[in-house]
Structure formats: C-alpha cells, structure tokens
Amino acid sequence: MTEKTHFGYREVPREEKSRLVGSVFDSVAARYDLMNDAMSLGIHRIWKRVTLEYTGLRRGGQALDLASGTGDLAARMARLVGDTGLVVLSDINASMLSIGREKLDDQGIFNNVEYSLANAEDLPFESNRFDCVTIGFGLRNVTDKARALAEMARVVKPGGRVVILEFSKPTNPLVERVYDAYSFSALPVMGKLLANDADSYRYLAESIRMHPDQETLERMMLDNGFDHVDVHNLTFGVVAIHVGFKF
C-alpha cells in the first residue's frame, strides 16, 4: 500500500508531496514578499527580528538558513556574522532560491553567503558544522518533519542551536476564531488579487492547520536529537519560535 501524507487537507502519496509543494512555490515566488507583507500586515518582519535574538550568532559564526526562500532571515544573519562568518542559504525550490540570491545581491550581500539547492530531509553538509540552523515558515511544508529535525540536529555543533519560526496554535480562543476566519476567507482572496493564485494560498492556510502544535513539535525535537527545547509564543501563539539545543 502506498504511504500517504498530508498536502493541506488532502491526503497524497508521500513521494508526491515535494512535487506539489514545489509547484506552489514556483507559482508564488515572484510575489512572495508582497504577499507576506499583505497577509501579515507587515508583522512577519517583527517575528523575524525576534527570531534573530534567539540565534546566538556572533561575528565569525557559521549559520545555515533552511527553506531560506527570499532570504529575509539570511540577510540579517549575514550582517550578524560579518565578513569573517558565513551564512548558507538553502532551499529545495530553485525559483525561491534564485529570487533570494537576487535580493541579497541587490543589498550588496555576497562576500559571506553561499547557496545550496537541497532537501531539508537529506542535508549535504558534514555533521557538527554550524553554530546555528534556522528555518522560517518552512517546516510545515516538509514531508518527513522528524527526519528533517534529525538532520538539523546532526549538522549543528554541540553547544549550538536550531531556531524554528513557524505558525502554530493560538493560545486565545477568540484569537483562534478570528485567525481561522481570516485564513480561510481573506488569504485565498488576496492570493487571487495579488498573485493570481487562490489555490496556493488556500493550501498555505491548510498547511498551517495541519502543522504540529507547540507541545507536539517540542516533543518531536526532543525525540530527534535535541537535548533541550525552549518554546516562545508570539502574537498569542499565532506564531511560535522553538529553540533546540544540542549539548
């Protein structure tokens, strides 16, 4: 029997999910930053700034940004590590990685960054290499999350940390109801108007609901190579930051 997984609310063969997710991001890549600003009313920029505070990165550090997309987190980390450090931008989607590279080039960030087209479930990096690994709004799109978490734990140095920024489960019932109504009503409409693609943004809303909640993701991290996990809720739990430590 073919093993199944979720693509939004649909069940699909596991081997099909990467292709389907790839088609979503091929479709939205050119308007991704515009849609992020519209969907979050610009709040995603604050969430990313807070995320950086948990990276522990210093000048000369080495970082890996998974599902790097258009490079928002990576650009900021490149400034933190300076000319003597390195940030590797990695994404499974060539369209997103290309736009990220163009964006960082335009900002004059190219001396301390590298690019890697790679699957988070099978990272092409040696063990214990990075001081910090980040993934922002990408884990929910990974087919085998446990395997990806184990890979993140493998490539981060002992004493380093993995920082996961992702949509999560609101902690306030009223916020949860408003958030649900907004996600399933407004997002597809904005996707149609701004990116001419309602279906992709409907999938993104569904993928958020299928993602593990704060406690479940914390347990998954502890089961897959992390020695300690801190969880920080932002905006009433609409977004959560999980910081995994490897001792």
Residue 70 counted as an annotated binding residue: yes
CA 202 to CA 242: how far, in whole Å? 25
Residue 197 counted as an annotated binding residue: no
Residue 120 counted as an annotated binding residue: yes
CB 81 within 8 A of CB 52: no
Residue 224 counted as an annotated binding residue: no
Task: Find how far residue 126's CA is from the centre of its chain.
Answer: 21
CA 149 to CA 63: how far, in whole Å? 16
Q: In 55-197, which residue ranges form alpha helices assigned H by DSSP?
A: 72-81, 94-106, 145-155, 173-195
Q: On the CB side of 5, how many CA atoms lie within 13 Å of its CA? A: 18
Q: Residue positions in the annotated binding site for S-adenosyl-L-methionine?
A: 70, 91, 119-120
Q: Residue positions in the annotated binding site?
A: 70, 91, 119-120
